[in-house]
A = this chain, B = another copy of it.
């Protein structure tokens, strides 16, 4: 059975054709055109699918799509995805089904990324885990017994908005002390830049003074890998915060595997060290030895590959 998995991002549509053996037979990308008119976006989407259908040796049995924001996954309806102004409430499953005739499923992109890691990446062989994507925000998808856990209305997995500090940093959601307000890229850099500026010995000192807007978590990660202590400590601290929320989630859910991907995760060892030490220290005794913090394996392909698995 052939499936197509599609990840619709704010700027790019990524898609792949996948067979039953979970081999990727073809790939395709298009611009999303998310801020033009919906028709332009849909045309790119159809063109992408057309290319993959043509590459398939047999009929495509299903198309799965991951989209940012709130998705009515039961009915395949996208609801005003953030940073995609041309998209309002779009019955995407219906649109794709009526054009392509096959089964279509739509879900949130963080859920798809977690499902991708479950089927193709770091989550293989694990029945339950929480998949984190550290980007602008802290996204997550919860896999329970091999399937996406959606919650009552499909909004589950907002790990980024677990409070770790009662009167802590202000989060974009309006709450104080959300883990996203410590581990999201924007907040990470906001904390890091004054530190880098105040440390003349740090290898990113000049960059932080002259062109702070160009700094990325990867820069900090690379500096840390090259032995920069200041950068190591910044990442370790972010990891420590993440570990607090991970311990809370592990205690609540009795889930002990956490798979971390996304831009900040690329910062590497000090971050993972901080996460692991902090989570292990804080979690209930009964979970300590079982706790397993893994880097994601699929990078930007996770959402696209997971989307292909949405189709039953």
Q: Which residues of A contact B (CB under 8 A)?
A: 70, 127-128, 142, 149-159, 161-166, 168, 173-176, 241, 244-245, 247-249, 251-256, 281-287, 290
Find out whether the CB atom of A161 lies under 8 angstroms from the CB atom of B248. Answer: yes
Closest residue on chain B to residue A70 by CB atoms: B286
- In angstroms, Cα B153 to Cα A197, docked, is 47
A5 CB to closest chain B CB (Å) equals: 24
Q: List 18 A-B contacts (CB under 8 A).
A: A128-B151, A128-B152, A149-B253, A151-B254, A152-B290, A153-B254, A153-B290, A155-B286, A158-B284, A159-B251, A166-B168, A173-B284, A175-B247, A175-B281, A175-B283, A249-B252, A252-B252, A252-B253
- In angstroms, Cα B149 to Cα A142, docked, is 14
- Chain B residues with CB under 8 Å of A166's CB are 164-165, 168, 241, 244
A77 CB to closest chain B CB (Å) equals: 15
Find out whether the CB atom of B282 lies under 8 angstroms from the CB atom of A163. Answer: yes
A168 CB to closest chain B CB (Å) equals: 7
- Chain B residues with CB under 8 Å of A152's CB are 127-128, 254-256, 290
- Chain B residues with CB under 8 Å of A247's CB are 161, 163, 175
Find out whether the CB atom of B284 lies under 8 angstroms from the CB atom of A156. Answer: no
- In angstroms, Cα B162 to Cα A252, docked, is 7
- Chain B residues with CB under 8 Å of A283's CB are 175
Find out whether the CB atom of A163 lies under 8 angstroms from the CB atom of B253. Answer: no
Closest 7 CB pairs of A and B: A151-B254, A156-B254, A162-B248, A158-B251, A161-B251, A155-B254, A175-B282
- In angstroms, Cα B162 to Cα A165, docked, is 11
- In angstroms, Cα B142 to Cα A251, docked, is 12
Find out whether the CB atom of B252 lies under 8 angstroms from the CB atom of A154. Answer: no
A174 CB to closest chain B CB (Å) equals: 8
Find out whether the CB atom of B163 lies under 8 angstroms from the CB atom of A248. Answer: yes
Find out whether the CB atom of B284 lies under 8 angstroms from the CB atom of A161. Answer: yes
- In angstroms, Cα B249 to Cα A156, docked, is 10
- Chain B residues with CB under 8 Å of A157's CB are 252, 254
- In angstroms, Cα B241 to Cα A239, docked, is 25
Closest residue on chain B to residue A153 by CB atoms: B254
- Chain B residues with CB under 8 Å of A255's CB are 151-152
- In angstroms, Cα B219 to Cα A300, docked, is 57
- Chain B residues with CB under 8 Å of A282's CB are 163, 175-176
- Chain B residues with CB under 8 Å of A175's CB are 247, 281-284
Find out whether the CB atom of A163 lies under 8 angstroms from the CB atom of B164. Answer: yes
Closest residue on chain B to residue A182 by CB atoms: B166
Find out whether the CB atom of B286 lies under 8 angstroms from the CB atom of A252. Answer: no
- In angstroms, Cα B290 to Cα A284, docked, is 31
- In angstroms, Cα B283 to Cα A310, docked, is 28
A100 CB to closest chain B CB (Å) equals: 30
- In angstroms, Cα B157 to Cα A244, docked, is 17
**Beyond known contacts A156-B252, A159-B252: 8 more, CB 8 A cutoff:** A127-B152, A151-B255, A153-B254, A162-B252, A163-B244, A164-B164, A165-B165, A165-B166
